[in-house]
Structure formats: structure tokens, C-alpha cells
Amino acid sequence: EKGTYDHYMLKEINDQPAAMRKIIQEYQDEDENLKIDTEIIDQLKDSDRIYVIAAGTSYHAGLIGKEFFEKWAGVPTEVHVASEFVYNTPLLSEKPLFIFISQSGETADSRAVLVEIKKLGHKSLTVTNVPGSTLSREADQTLTLHAGPEIAVASTKAYTAQIAVLSILAQVAARELGKGTEINLMQELAKVTTAITAIIDDAPAIEQIVNEYLETTRNAFFIGRTMDYYVGLEGALKLKEISYIQAEGFAGGELKHGTIALIEENTPVFALATQEKVNLNIRGNAQEVEARGAKVCMVSMEGLNQEGDTYVIPRVHEMLTPLVSVVVYQFIAYYAALHRGNDVDKPRNLAKSVTVE
Ligand code: F6R
């Protein structure tokens, strides 16, 4: 099934442009307008706050989704780690809508939340790659990712599919709520698809980055601000789970509040600069760690790039950059694991779907 690819993970990274095209196709009507079931939109319009519940990579996709729901649809949104929410439920609004994000639809921690909120009579929507899954069957509504089966334990195409589907949901909500924040999303997602393809074609250059930054290191840091901070969290998770390099993602501005003490001569720091508003800030943070000996790998976006940046991704809509920048981090994790001789698709201690709490 993995065909000519050495690993499922590599295949699934490469599947991403096709998954994007499939999503674009599935979520538009004959007139090429964005389309989401009316019941789902009605539920969303009817709620005063969204609670996103997820784990791991799906939680990281939820963080990006929050930006879409708040900035486009104007709906206040909280994102919660499922295993925490169950035992420490926050104060809920009057009319909450719960959105469960889960590739497998089988994550027990998320299901435990679903069971609880159903007892309270709250509405639920599951965003999943597996329509017949437990979370899909038990929630009021389902949105399907259409990413195709994901076999590798490290999630790649499900993350980008989750972000794409959440962007569509938030744009349709914005349209139906008359928010005046609509963009030509299908056109922008098509540009994203082209950009992802360009990075896939450029994989050998990313393997070189791994040779240069990660061959012997025990740890690595991922910094960014706003959306780039969230992508850094995902980059760090991907790297640690398959390469076993200790990796941490954090907000660039938090460095000086403690973490900078960990920077030593040659500590690799991956910095992401795709957001105009904080471009100079993150570059300032990169200089702070560089001055203390860090080896900074600056990944920026065309238009915001500066001389000396290590890698430049193609320009896409500023709200959609995570779909593209994460692909660089997926390849970094893949090659780091491969070069260390690890089992890329089946990292130690991990299972594809976590069906125990
Ligand atoms: C990381 C990874 C896990 C899952 C998490 C949630 O690469 O795969 O962190 O994202 O276990 O799984 P789902 O999305 O199936 O609920």
C-alpha cells in the first residue's frame, strides 16, 4: 500500500497535495461556493462559544482552528487537551458547541469528554478522518477529513486536512453570519496545494538541513509567534516522537522568561517567520539565542524573508501558512528519524490510536 515509498510517513507527507484537492472538491457546490451541511452551520450560529477538544497533533490543529473561528467567524473559541478537560472542566458558556478533532475518531480521552458533555445536553461536532468511528457515531454531526487512511503513527496529512476543513467551516460560518471577513478560500487553498508540492519536490534540501542541524544533537527548540508558535509545537512533537530528540516548542517572546538558559553552543533552534506582524520580533528572538551560541535555522515565507534565511517557503495567505510551513517540519522529523536508524512508522512506546484513557 505504501507503493514505491520507503515508509508510510513519507507516502502520507506526499499525499498532502492530493488530500487538499480532494477537500476542495468535497466542500464545494456546483457553483464552486464553499459548502457545509446547513445543520452544522445552524448549530454553530446558535452557539455562543466553541470548545475544541483534542489530543496531540489534533490539539495543535485545533489551536490553528481557534484563529479561524475567532478572526473570521467572530465566535469565541477555547481549545482544550481532552485528558485535562475531563478532570478539570472549565466554566461553560450558555450555549457551547463542542468540536472534537480526531484523526482516528477513537481517542478515549476525547470520547470521555463527549460522554460527559452529552449528559449535560450540549451540542457536538466531530471532525475526523474516519466517518464510522466512535466519536463520529456518538456526536451530533460529523465533518470528514477526506485525507485517506493514515497508517504511520506520526500524523501528517491528517493535521493539514484538519486545518483545511476547519478553515472551510469558519469561512462558511463567517459568510452565514455576515461577518465581512470572507476570502476566496478555494483559490487560497489551491495556492497552498501548489506550495506544498513545491516543498515536497524540494525534500533533498530539507534533508540537508537535517544533516547540518540535527545529526548529533540531543535537543532542539522550535520558536515562533502567533500562528508560527502553534506550528512550532507541532514541529517539536513530530521530531520528538520519531527521532527521540528532546524537542520543545515555545513562543519566541517567552525565551527570556526562562528557556533561554538552555541555549548552549550549537543548540539547534528552528525559527518560523511567516507572520508579518511579528516578523521583526521573531527575528529579534533568533538573534537573542544566536548571541548565546544557538544554531538558528530560520524558515521564513517569501515576501518576509531576509538574506541568510535557511529556508524560504512559497507565499500563501497569512492565515493558511501553517498548512505549508508544517511540511518543512514533517520532513525534518522524517529525515532525523531515518538518519538515526529509527523505525519511522512505528516509534517506540506509541500506538496509532490511543483507546485507553
Ligand atoms: C502525533 C500523533 C498523536 C495523535 C493523538 C490524537 O503525531 O499522531 O499525537 O495526534 O494521539 O489522535 P487522534 O487524532 O486520532 O484523536
DSSP string, 114-145: HHHHHHTT-EEEEEES-TTSHHHHHSSEEEE-
60 Cα: distance to centroid of ligand 1 (angstroms):
10
- List the residue whose alpha carbon is closest to atom 7 of ligand 1: 154
Length of the chain: 357
What's the whole-number mean pLDDT along residues 108-137?
A: 98
pLDDT at position 199: 98
SS3 319: helix
Q: How far is CA 188 from CA 62, 193, 209, in A?
A: 20, 9, 28
- List the residue whose alpha carbon is closest to atom 16 of ligand 1: 102
Q: What are phi and psi of 331, to 5 degrees?
A: -65, -40
Q: Where are the beta strands (DSSP E) in 55-164?
A: 77-81, 96-102, 123-128, 141-144
CA atoms of 292 and 347, how far apart (whole Å): 33
304 Cα: distance to centroid of ligand 1 (angstroms):
32
Q: Could you identify the atom of ligand 1 that is nearest to the CA of residue 158?
A: 14
pLDDT at position 318: 98
Strand order across the beta sheet in which 246-251 lies: 246-251, 219-224, 268-273, 295-301, 311-313
Residue with cell 507503493: 3
pLDDT at position 355: 85
Q: Could you identify the atom of ligand 1 that is nearest to the CA of residue 238?
A: 7
- List the residue whose alpha carbon is closest to atom 10 of ligand 1: 57
pLDDT at position 265: 95
- List the residue whose alpha carbon is closest to atom 3 of ligand 1: 56
What's the whole-number mean pLDDT along residues 214-242?
A: 97
pLDDT at position 75: 98
pLDDT tens by residue, 240-297: 999 999 999 999 999 989 989 999 999 999 999 999 999 999 999 999 999 999 999 9
SS3 269: strand
Q: Could you identify the atom of ligand 1 that is nearest to the CA of residue 135?
A: 16
What's the whole-number mean pLDDT along residues 87-94?
A: 96
pLDDT at position 356: 84
Residue 48 pLDDT level (bands cut at 50, 70, 90): very high
CA atoms of 287 and 210, how far apart (whole Å): 21
101 Cα: distance to centroid of ligand 1 (angstroms):
10
Q: Which of 104, 144, 357 to mutate to test the pocket of ligand 1 (most atoms within 8 A of CB)?
A: 104
47 Cα: distance to centroid of ligand 1 (angstroms):
27
Q: Which of 57, 126, 129 to mutate to test the pocket of ligand 1 (most atoms within 8 A of CB)?
A: 57
142 Cα: distance to centroid of ligand 1 (angstroms):
18
pLDDT at position 2: 84
158 Cα: distance to centroid of ligand 1 (angstroms):
9
82 Cα: distance to centroid of ligand 1 (angstroms):
12
pLDDT at position 253: 96
Q: Could you identify the atom of ligand 1 that is nearest to the CA of residue 159?
A: 10
Residue 127 pLDDT level (bands cut at 50, 70, 90): very high
CA atoms of 46 and 170, how far apart (whole Å): 14
pLDDT at position 185: 98
ipTM above 0.85, yes or no: yes
Ligand 1: residues whose CB is within 6 Å? Answer: 55-58, 102-104, 107, 110, 154-155, 237, 241, 353-354
Separation of first and last alpha carbons in the chain: 31
Residues carrying an active site annotation: 352
What's the whole-number mean pLDDT along residues 202-210?
A: 98
- List the residue whose alpha carbon is closest to atom 5 of ligand 1: 56
- List the residue whose alpha carbon is closest to atom 9 of ligand 1: 56
CA atoms of 19 and 132, how far apart (whole Å): 19
- List the residue whose alpha carbon is closest to atom 11 of ligand 1: 56
DSSP state of 318: G
pLDDT at position 279: 98
